[in-house]
Amino acid sequence: MKVSDIILGPIIVAIGVIALIAASVQPKPIFGGGYGGGFFPSIIGVGLLGAGLILSWNGWRERAGVPFVAFDGWIRSPRHIANVAVVIGALLFYILASNWLGFIIAGFITLFATLLQFTRSPMRSLVVAAITTLAVKATFQDMLLVPLPWGLLEPYAGVLTWR
């Protein structure tokens, strides 16, 4: 499936603006300068904004020769449809369950399900999901001081924090 850049560009610009707004409400560093919780979302928001503007410009220039939406053969493939469903389902699961389960559990389940769908290797998916979840937790929560939800692991927060 190919969606025209003239449709995707404004969508990506809107996502970039939302990321910048969300970054502006993140906690600021206590001692003035430095990197707060909104630092990386701001970089991503600016990148999305620039990419969306470029896509919009390219889509506007090519609007006469490119259809708004074109479907390829993979749209009839059950495996590809399952891949799309797993990615969307995993994202919805994380959004809905992360506050209750916490980042470590919800992030692990989300990564494991997605990796299992794409690699079909349970052991490799388990190891990569565990290492990635712990690396993201350590980087964002312990080093960058970005608050991540503890959820069910709240009683063990002192044991699981490495600072």
Residue pLDDT, tens place only, 142-153: 888 888 999 998
Chain centroid offset of residue 79 CA: 22
Whether the model pTM is above 0.75: no
Crossing angle of helices 103-119 and 122-137, rounded to 10° = 140
- pLDDT, position 97: 96
Give the model confidence (pLDDT) of 36-84 as tens digits: 888 889 999 999 999 999 999 999 998 888 888 888 887 889 999 999 9
pLDDT of residue 163: 60
52 closest CA partner among 4, 1, 14, 3 = 14
Q: What is the mean pLDDT of residues 9-23?
A: 96
Three-class SS state of 69: strand
- Tell me the pLDDT of the chain averaged across its residues: 90
Per-residue pLDDT, 17 = 97
Buried/exposed code over 29-54 (b: 16+ C-beta within 10 A; e: otherwise): eeeeeeebbbebbbebbeebbebbee
The larger pLDDT score, comparing residue 141 to residue 95, is at 95
Rounded alpha-carbon distances, angstroms, from residue 61 to 9, 48, 162: 12, 20, 52
pLDDT at 124 over 80: yes
